[in-house]
């Protein structure tokens, strides 16, 4: 029997089985493969599953495994993490990043692309994927992070100023920055009216469980990003489009 699943730890709270069931009407089983030992979880994937989703803390170990023994696209290799692993017909494992694919879909759906200025707050896995997606679409991308300051990565203290002149802020941090609540011009863009052609700032937040900026004008919730990950990622796992 063809089976799919999720590896990570802890994942007992995950809604992935429910989302997968809705996407395919329960046609295939989808399991939570929970455990703190990456090697044990990866071995179960190789022995029992056609494809898996990967969540924390296993995205980078899985990336290293596929980098050494499988295949991935150049943009995924540049991000340095995967969250989907699929067994190909030739026996190799193909690694994908649906954080990247999902945010690219959200940006396209809201009209962001060539000529848009995008500020990414945070440069962990989600931030790296968001920055790569923005660049792939031709956006002018600026990253703000607490560490690794370079000409391309600005100090987090500069975020309110940079976000104030951006078309889109992609917020991947787990904590709020109060100065963002008083950015000039935010109030011009009403809820539900976000689009890249508006010339007014929108906010896409990665965290959909405990968001920091929900309710701000121009807010795009993380649930939209999460759904876009399923819409773009599940067909890579199953070979069939998801039921929208």
- CA-atom Rg of the chain in angstroms: 18
Catalytic residue among 59, 105, 135, 190: 59
Question: Tokens 């991947």 belong to which residue?
Answer: 172
Encode 29-60: b = buried (16+ Cβ within 10 Å), e = exposed: ebbbbebeebeebbebbeeebbbbbbbeebbe
Q: How far apart are CA 42 and CA 225, in angstroms?
A: 26
- Is 59 in the active site? yes
At 50 the three-state DSSP class reads coil
Q: How far apart are CA 227 and CA 235, in angstroms?
A: 13
Residue numbers annotated as active site: 59
């Amino acid at each position: 029997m063809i089976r799919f699943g999720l590896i990570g730890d802890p994942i007992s709270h995950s809604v992935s089985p429910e989302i997968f069931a809705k996407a395919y009407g329960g046609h295939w089983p989808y399991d939570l493969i929970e455990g703190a030992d990456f090697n044990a979880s990866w071995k179960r994937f190789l022995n029992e599953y056609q494809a898996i989703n990967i969540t924390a803390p296993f995205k980078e170990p899985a990336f290293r495994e596929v980098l050494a023994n499988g295949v991935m696209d150049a943009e995924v290799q540049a991000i340095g993490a995967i969250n989907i692993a699929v067994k190909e017909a030739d026996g190799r494992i193909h690694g994908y990043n649906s954080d990247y694919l999902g945010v690219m879909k959200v940006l396209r759906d809201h009209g962001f692309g060539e000529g848009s200025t995008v500020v990414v707050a945070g440069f962990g896995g989600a931030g790296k994927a968001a920055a790569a997606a923005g660049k792939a679409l031709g956006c002018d991308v600026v990253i703000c992070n607490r560490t690794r300051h370079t000409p391309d990565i600005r100090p987090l203290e500069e975020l309110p100023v940079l976000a104030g002149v951006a078309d889109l802020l992609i917020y991947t941090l787990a904590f709020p920055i109060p100065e963002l609540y008083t950015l000039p011009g935010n109030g011009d863009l009403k809820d539900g009216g976000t689009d890249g052609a508006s010339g007014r700032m929108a906010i896409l937040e990665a965290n959909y469980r405990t968001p920091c900026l929900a309710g701000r004008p121009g807010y795009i919730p993380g649930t939209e990003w999460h759904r876009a990950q399923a819409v773009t990622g599940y067909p890579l796992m199953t070979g069939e489009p998801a039921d929208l």
